[in-house]
Amino acid sequence: MRKLTVPVRTARLNLREFVATDLAAVHAYSSDPRVTRYLFFGPRDEESCADYLAELLASQRERPRTRFELAVEEIATARLIGACDLSLIEAKVVDLGYMLGVEQWGHGYATEIALALIDAAFSELRAERVISTVDVNNAASIRVLEKVGMRWEAVYRRHRRAKNRWWDCHLFTLPRAVWEDSKATLR
C-alpha cells in the first residue's frame, strides 16, 4: 500500500491533514470568487465548505487511500492559507492540485507546494507520472507548472462541465525519468 508521510514540510509551509477546526479558514479562501475563478467549484458558502471538509476528513480514513488533500499552513504565522492535493488516478499516475488565498498569491508558495508534492509523488507514492490539468485561461498556474518542470502535453476541449459552462483545460505532465534527471543535474 502506498503511503504519504504527512505533514510535508517546505522552507515556509507545512502541508498537513485537515482538521475539523479548519472550517473558518477553509471558508475564508474558498468563498472568494477570485480563488475559485479557474476551479470547477465555488465560490463555496458555509454549508458547502462544511460538507467539503467532512468529505476530506472521511477520505483520510480510506484504505487504500487514493486522495491526499492537505491544508497549506504558513509556518511563520501558523495560519491555514490554502489547500493542495495528490490524487492517485491510475496505478502509477498522480494528479497534482493547489489553491491559495489571494493574499498569498505572488509569493512563490504555489511553486513551493508543487515542488514538494512532486517529490512526494515520486519518492513516496512511487508514481511514474505526475499530471495536472489547468484551465486554459489560468496563466499564473500555467507558469507555476512550467517552473516546476512540468510540460504541456495536450488540450482537453470541453474537458468538464461545471458552473454552467464547458471548460477547456491544458494537461501538464512530468514523467519520473525527467524528474530523476533534473534531480541528478542539481547534485
Do the domain assignments include residue 1? no
Instruction: Render pLDDT for 150-166 as a digit per residue (tens, 0 to 9).
Output: 999 988 887 776 666 77
Per-residue pLDDT at 168: 86
Where b means 16+ CB within 10 Å and e means fewer, 134-163 reads: bbeebeebbebbeebbbeeeeeeeebeeee
Is the predicted pLDDT of residue 187 greater than 60, yes or no? Answer: no
Question: pLDDT-derived band of residue 39, with 50, 70 and 90 as boundaries?
Answer: confident
Give the cell for residue 79.
495560519
On whether residue 144 sits in a domain, the answer given is: yes
pLDDT in tens, 77-97: 999 999 999 999 988 999 999
Cα(133)–Cα(49) distance, integer angstroms: 23
The residue range of the domain holding 168 is: 8-186
Question: Which of 65, 103, 101, 71 minimizes the C-alpha distance to 84?
Answer: 71
In total, how many domains does the chain have?
1
CATH code for the domain of 164: 3.40.630.30
Average pLDDT over residues 93-112: 97
CA atoms of 87 and 84, how far apart (whole Å): 10
Question: What's the predicted TM-score (pTM) here?
Answer: 0.93
133: which 3 cell numbers? 490539468
The answer to the question of residue 156 being in a domain is yes
